[in-house]
Amino acid sequence: MSDSSPFTAPSLAPALARALHDLLGPSGILTDAGDVAPFTTDWRSLYQGQCAAVLRPADTAQLAAIVSLCGQHAVPIVPQGGNTSMVGGATPDASGRAVVVCLSRMNRIREIDPHDLTMVVEAGVTLKAAQDAAREAGMMLPLSISSEGSAQIGGVIATNAGGNNTVRYGNARELLVGLEAVMPDGQVFNGLRRLRKDNTGYALRQLLAGSEGTLGILSTVILQLQPQPRSREIALCAVADAQAALALFGAFRAQDPAAIQAFEYMSGTGMAMVTDLIEGATLPLAEPAPAYVLVELASARADDTIRTLMESVLGDALESGTVLDAVMAESESQSAALWRLREEHAEAQRRAGASVKNDVSVPVSRVPALIERATVACEALIPGIRVAPFGHLGDGNIHFNLVQPEGMDPVAFLARDHEIMDSVCAIVRDLDGSFSAEHGVGQLKTYMMPEWRGGAELETMRRIKQALDPRNIMNPGKIFPAQPT
Amino acid sequence: MSDSSPFTAPSLAPALARALHDLLGPSGILTDAGDVAPFTTDWRSLYQGQCAAVLRPADTAQLAAIVSLCGQHAVPIVPQGGNTSMVGGATPDASGRAVVVCLSRMNRIREIDPHDLTMVVEAGVTLKAAQDAAREAGMMLPLSISSEGSAQIGGVIATNAGGNNTVRYGNARELLVGLEAVMPDGQVFNGLRRLRKDNTGYALRQLLAGSEGTLGILSTVILQLQPQPRSREIALCAVADAQAALALFGAFRAQDPAAIQAFEYMSGTGMAMVTDLIEGATLPLAEPAPAYVLVELASARADDTIRTLMESVLGDALESGTVLDAVMAESESQSAALWRLREEHAEAQRRAGASVKNDVSVPVSRVPALIERATVACEALIPGIRVAPFGHLGDGNIHFNLVQPEGMDPVAFLARDHEIMDSVCAIVRDLDGSFSAEHGVGQLKTYMMPEWRGGAELETMRRIKQALDPRNIMNPGKIFPAQPT
């Protein structure tokens, strides 16, 4: 049951509650338990938090006023977009002291500029809506992730999202041309400039991208667009192992890195789950293989030679034995069918039982070592475990996922999740990699920061956080582990 | 005349002098006036500073110890590489309190990795040496600036250098894969990771790039390489004005942004200076034009269609009148001759008399407005002034240079340099541009920061600086204007 104006949330000081009500009006504030519930848990259901209220600003001025007011009352703020964090990055803690600031009302696409190839987008626009708007204007926003229908641009930038096309166009941070953000003291940083070159001080734009809401809240961004590809070639290749997959990547890259739109690795185990468990998914090759690569080449030019490039590299690779078998898509529907084999990996693994996910990266050259060593380690840990790594080999970013042995109790398997993750991460660390390639730290992985990014690196991060947010009101509990007291 | 061990520089505390001597040995410390002189003035001769000593660390451990020792004694540190700053960024102030830390002994290329397409380079390696090493290994370091023979990698990254190929590969920051740096407290930040994706906390690498030595000293970096282009097409085009040049850029970009290796604008005035004043420089077109474009297309593929692309875009542009005349290079020597017309602009302007330089940028779409409006403004200010803008139109980065009227007293002309710069910058500001596209802020342009980057932006930079360097020992007086007292 919700009160009407002025609302009274138990944990908010009356003066703050009144000021927020005056600022946002009744429609801008949710306090009813039913209304608030979707905002206090993450979509993976890893965390169940509480909050004093959900605030829904309609514009940057309201957002800035919220931050100022909360700052004055030392009330923590958890920014939330589409609530699709993989690591609990947008979920409040259990104290109920925080407010969730929901950006979804700030959802205008303000401008698409065909001359500068840029778009100006408010934080609450979904990635899908931004992609669609760019496409309708004859361009492409080259960022694609599986949660794009829900994920909002603010969160996408704040977590520096990656995806299938990072190999060519870079992560979200690299697509960010300009931004406006509300800083922890409530000041608005207006960096909505669309300059390719601007050496006037520190790289604040790059710093805010990937800061997971701990240094400010993005309100509006300018993104770099690209022309739509006019030619595209997609092939599925069977390979003996990750070493062969890497050799194939090297062969394409030696010819032309700028042509590689995506280069995805899949294990034989994972592919078998897809063809077994996903209706209509069939392997278009003569026989199953130990591993697979999906490669997409693309060019903005209609008359490009990427078909020749694909045929020549694959021809050489078949001859040398690097590739065991290969099929090229000859139509849009065949292209879609090949991509579906990759995209259904997550769903097939879900159907196969309980699974443990590792979003890790290593130098590209060390992907084979990662896959070989981590496979051995996991199989030694839990006999019968199904090792099903897949992902962005071209970026060195592998989703090293493990599915429970057939017939094992899922609960018993998941009870060993930290053991499995630690086992994989020890190898990643030995290969000088990262425990979070795309998903960020959130609250799930803060405990790993001291060991992996400790010393001068974590201390520098802490100093920046303390300098910009001395009261620690911006998304507290994210990125940084609790300090020893 | 120099003292021998332990050296005694007048402004250094004896304990510090002794400790530095023990650390570096006599060859690692310069105090003799003649030895020190080259380090206390910038190459443009805009500043004449003094220093207590020049310190020459041989490795990261020595560098870290220097920073610690200087910190304990509150002695300012001015890092210096090739001393090629355009804005006095590596020159100490006149107090003589600072030490200059010269990185040139740290000049090893540690590793070139053909699998990851990366190179590990110490800060004191010249850009030219790094380019050559990459080329000898069959790859390309896609960063080229006119001072590359002297400029060192540490400074190149610390100033986020740009150049002719930024349009395709990005600035120095975008080529930086990993780094090691000594932080202001003397701690070594080891971020020598070669990961394409790593979302584990703040973007410190990007923050340190472009921080002009005010947040730490880069000691070693990992740079992203590219395959060498196997096909290349270069054309010089005559156009009626910057609007036509922009239209031509748009036509190429609409076909394929990934093929544009360089897109350079030159004024008719500047080109006439080159052909008049540089021996052997001739215009390979039937007649002079109001403006010119040099476009280079390139591809890693030998069989690419960039020749067709060049011919088709130029053919259309000639037919529509966007381009008045054009010539394509048919040999390496013709390519070099066309590039020479662009590269000799600075020297030709020097020979033509006194000049005022503006390294400005605007959104690409606004380059014509910049050139038109700033030309009118400067001609109104000083009748007969020769307006000779040139540069990276594809990045929106124009070197808006002004040469004195023929016959005018150079001193009288230069006495009005601030008037001229202010006049250009007012238009740049109105077009939402930057007063420093490539060269940085240094000490030359600190006074512009409050007006252009004031409010939350400059305050955020100040907070970061204060948090990481509370004693303000790292390259003081750069980037930040003196605070009102």
Q: What is the CATH number of the domain that holds B247?
A: 3.30.70.2190
The Cα of B182 is separated from the nearest Cα of chain A by a number of Å equal to 9
Q: B223 - beta bridge partners?
A: B119, B176
Same domain, A360 and A415: yes
Q: Write down the pLDDT at residue A303.
A: 78
Q: Write down the pLDDT at residue B484.
A: 62
**Residue B275 near residue B212, CB atoms below 8 Å:** no
Q: For the residues B282-294, what does the mean pLDDT come to?
A: 98
Q: For the residues B194-209, what does the mean pLDDT come to?
A: 97
- Which residues of B are less than 8 Å from A363 in CB distance? 116, 193-195
B167, B197, B363 member nearest A171 (Cβ): B197
In this structure, is the dihedral angle defined by the CA atoms of residues B107, B129, B361 and B91, taken in order, positive or negative?
Answer: positive
Q: Would residue A214 count as lying in a domain?
A: yes
Same domain, A298 and A336: yes
Same domain, A154 and A189: yes
Residues spanned by the domain of A329: 231-346
Q: Would residue B288 count as lying in a domain?
A: yes
User: What percent of chain B is predicted at pLDDT more than 90?
Assistant: 94
**Residue B393 near residue B367, CB atoms below 8 Å:** yes
Q: Looking at chain B from residue 215 to 274, which residues have their Cβ under 8 Å from any Cβ of chain A? A: 215, 226-227, 246, 250, 253-259
Q: Would residue A478 count as lying in a domain?
A: no
SS3 A18: helix
Among B120, B177, B197, most A C-beta atoms within 10 A, so best to mutate, is B197
Q: B214 - beta bridge partners?
A: none
B173, B187, B468 member nearest A455 (Cβ): B187
- Which residues of B are less than 8 Å from A438 in CB distance? 197, 199
For residue B308, name the pLDDT band (cuts at 50, 70, 90): very high
SS3 A104: coil
Domain finish residue from B316, B346, B376: B346
C-alpha distances (whole Å) from B388 to each of B274, B338, B346, B359, B395 are 11, 18, 10, 13, 18
Q: Looking at chain A from residue 313 to 352, which residues have their Cβ under 8 Å from any Cβ of chain B? A: none
Q: Tell me the residue ranges of DSSP E strands in B275-358.
A: 291-299, 325-328, 355-356
C-alpha distances (whole Å) from B245 to each of A301, B250, B343, B428 are 21, 9, 18, 19
Query: Are A202 and B207 a contacting pair at CB < 8 A?
Result: yes
The Cα of A381 is separated from the nearest Cα of chain B by a number of Å equal to 27
Q: Would residue B481 count as lying in a domain?
A: no
Nearest-CA neighbor of A130 among A146, A117, A149, A147? A149
Q: Write down the pLDDT at residue A10.
A: 61
Q: Write down the pLDDT at residue A94.
A: 94
Q: Write down the pLDDT at residue B221.
A: 98
SS3 B326: strand
- Which residues of A are less than 8 Å from B254 in CB distance? 227, 300
Query: Are B300 and A195 a contacting pair at CB < 8 A?
Result: no
Please tell me which residue of chain B has the smallest CA distance to A243: B115
Q: Would residue B387 count as lying in a domain?
A: yes
Q: Looking at chain B from residue 127 to 156, which residues have their Cβ under 8 Å from any Cβ of chain A? A: none
Same domain, A364 and A335: no
Q: Looking at chain B from residue 29 to 58, which residues have their Cβ under 8 Å from any Cβ of chain A? A: none
Same domain, B128 and B155: yes
| pLDDT (tens digit per residue) in A95-152 | 999 999 999 999 999 999 998 999 999 999 999 999 999 999 999 999 999 899 999 9
| pLDDT (tens digit per residue) in B410-463 | 999 999 999 999 999 999 999 999 999 999 999 999 999 999 999 999 999 999
- Rounded Cα–Cα distance for residues B112 and B121 (Å): 9
For residue B3, name the pLDDT band (cuts at 50, 70, 90): very low
Q: Write down the pLDDT at residue A249.
A: 97
SS3 A450: helix
B162, B194, B455 member nearest A197 (Cβ): B162
Domain finish residue from A102, A122, A141: A102
Nearest-CA neighbor of A392 among A210, A232, A148, A163? A163
Please tell me which residue of chain A has the smallest CA distance to B183: A456
- Which residues of B are less than 8 Å from A457 in CB distance? 189-191, 201, 204
Number of domains in chain A: 4
Same domain, B279 and B311: yes
Q: Write down the pLDDT at residue B131.
A: 98
Among A187, A202, A366, most B C-beta atoms within 10 A, so best to mutate, is A202
Same domain, B28 and B84: yes
- Rounded Cα–Cα distance for residues A260 and A457 (Å): 33
Query: Are A300 and B453 a contacting pair at CB < 8 A?
Result: no
B85 in contact with chain A, both atoms CB, cutoff 8 A: no
Residues (pLDDT < 70) of chain A are: 1-10, 484-485
| pLDDT (tens digit per residue) in B351-407 | 999 999 999 999 999 999 999 999 999 999 999 999 999 999 999 999 999 999 999
Going by C-beta distance under 8 Å and a sequence separation of 6 or more, which residues neighbour residue B270? B345, B348, B349, B388, B389, B390, B401
Same domain, B217 and B122: yes
Q: Would residue B87 count as lying in a domain?
A: yes
Q: What is the CATH number of the domain that holds A391?
A: 3.30.70.2740
- Rounded Cα–Cα distance for residues A267 and A271 (Å): 6
